[in-house]
Chains A and B, each alone.
Chain A
Amino acid sequence: MDLAILKEYLPFLIPLVAAQVALGITALVHVLRHPHYRFGNKVMWALIVMFVQIIGSVVYFAFGRGEE
């Protein structure tokens, strides 16, 4: 894809990336600040929420996060 096409889709990409990054960062901060998980460890969850977009964060908040 060349630059022109990329430019054309900027109005989509910006909010899209923003939403994904926001979700990923929220999850990452939570992973780092609450080092108790139902299973797995810090490194594993950090990698999951950073590299598996959306689903990684969902799985972390739904299953991975430990008791407060």
Chain B
Amino acid sequence: MRNYTVFLKKEIFEYTKTYKLLIMLMVFAVFGITNPLMAKLLPEILGSLMADSISMSLPEATAFDAWTQFFKNATQMGLIVMTILFSSILSWELSKGTLIIMLTKGLSRTVVILSKYTCMVLVWTTSIALCFGLTYGYTVYLFPGDLTVNLLFSTFCLWLFGVFLLAVLLFAATLTKSNYGCLLITGTAIVVCMLVNIIPATHRYNPISLATDNLGLVTNSIEVSSLYCPILISCLLSLFLVVLSVLIFRKKQL
């Protein structure tokens, strides 16, 4: 347990020193600001592009448009950036051999996996909180009075999907030796989730619903209760994948 905090501290230190934390925060901060701005500017830009002769009334931008941007940017770009950044979480230490010394110093392999996962989740949580905060603040400033529902719950779903994605990533990292292999497995897993999602019956159980239903939640077109099942499944799957990663890594020949 004491080693867990020590190694977690080392991981956080490493993320600051290798600029990974900075990149995550900057990327999510930029998204956070861009979301409401794009929502506000898009109709105006479109309007200025159109010739004066064609008069067409564009719908007034609302807070909903800002949140559309938030859930699109954060889900797509944000998760991709995060996956790329964390893909070398184990391969870098294993290929360089830095972890060998730590392990021979009596660091348990379970602790390595758990603290690495914790650190990734911490960085992800901070990043999405920052992004959410900025989008929220600027949306309130730009579109005062507009109300949105289920905002926190919807963001929680997105956050949980990120946690699930990180568990997949961790599992992929213990299976392969290179970060490209890790990216490939993680990507494949997500594509499989998307393909399965084509069958409507599976939608209620698929973790990817957590990242696709966010807008529906905000517009109230999707019931909150319909997501309870994916939430439970994502939690269980994440837990299962982390435990499996620990078991695999404990038996891995280094």
Given a CB threshold of 8 Å, the question of whether A touches B is answered with yes
- Which of A's residues lie within 8 Å of B, judged by CB? 1, 5, 9, 11-12, 15-16, 19-20, 22-23, 26-27, 30, 54, 57-58, 61-63, 67
B57 within 8 A of A: no
Interface residues on B, range: 20 to 34
Residues of B within 8 A of A11 (CB): 138, 141
C-alpha gap A20/B27 in the complex (Å): 8
Assess the B138–A67 pair: CB atoms within 8 A: no
Query: Do A12 and B138 contact each other (CB < 8 Å), given the known contacts A54-B30, A58-B85, A62-B85?
Result: yes
Residues from chain A with Cβ under 8 Å of B22 in the complex = 23, 26
Q: Are A1 and B23 in contact (CB under 8 A)?
A: no
| Chain B window 1-44, contacts with chain A (Cβ cutoff 8 Å), 1 for yes, 0 for no | 00000000000000000111011001101100110110011001
**Do A58 and B27 touch (CB < 8 A)?**
yes
CA A1 – CA B34 in complex, angstroms? 17
Choice from B27, B37, B96 contacting A67 with Cβ under 8 Å: B96
Contact B27 A16 (CB under 8 A): no
Max chain B C-beta neighbours (<10 A), residue from A9, A12, A20: A12
Question: Interface of chain B, helix or strand or loop or mixed?
Answer: helix
Q: How far is the CA of A61 from the CA of B22 in the complex (A)?
A: 11
Q: CA–CA, A68 to B116, complex, Å?
A: 21
Q: Judge if B48 is at the interface, Cβ distance under 8 Å.
A: yes
Q: How many A-B residue pairs have CB under 8 A?
A: 55
**B84 touching A20 by the CB < 8 A rule?**
no
Q: Are A57 and B23 neighbours in the complex by a CB distance under 8 Å?
A: yes
Q: How far is the CA of A30 from the CA of B37 in the complex (A)?
A: 30
Interface of B with A (CB < 8 Å)? 18-20, 22-23, 26-27, 29-30, 33-34, 36-37, 40-41, 44, 48, 81, 84-85, 87-88, 96, 138, 141
- Whether A9 pairs with B37 at a CB distance below 8 angstroms is yes
Picked from A19, A20, A54, A61, the residue with its CB within 8 Å of the CB of B19 is A61
Q: How far is the CA of A67 from the CA of B20 in the complex (A)?
A: 15
Main secondary structure of the interface of A (DSSP, over half): helix
A residues in contact with B26, CB < 8 Å? 19-20, 22-23, 54, 57
Task: Give the chain B neighbours of A57 by CB distance below 8 A.
Answer: 23, 26
**When chains A and B are docked, how far (Å) is the Cα of A20 from the Cα of B32?**
13
Flag if A62 contacts B48 (CB, 8 Å). Answer: no
Hey, which chain B residues are within 8 Å of A15, CB to CB? 29, 33
Q: Do A61 and B37 form a contact, CB below 8 Å, given A19-B30, A22-B26, A67-B96?
A: no
Q: Collect the chain B residues with CB atoms within 8 Å of residue A16's CB.
A: 30, 33-34, 37
B48→A1 contact, CB < 8 A: yes
Q: In chain A, what residue has the closest Cβ to B19?
A: A61
Query: CB-CB < 8 A to A67: which residues of B?
Result: 96
Give the interface centre of B18, B33, B85 by most chain A CB atoms within 10 Å.
Answer: B33
Select the residue from B26, B36, B41 with max chain A CB neighbours within 10 A: B26
CB contacts (< 8 Å) of A54 on chain B: these are 26-27, 30
Q: List 26 A-B contacts (CB under 8 A).
A: A9-B40, A11-B141, A12-B37, A15-B29, A16-B30, A16-B33, A16-B37, A19-B26, A19-B33, A20-B26, A23-B23, A23-B26, A23-B27, A26-B19, A26-B22, A27-B19, A30-B19, A54-B26, A54-B30, A57-B23, A58-B84, A58-B85, A61-B18, A61-B85, A62-B84, A62-B88
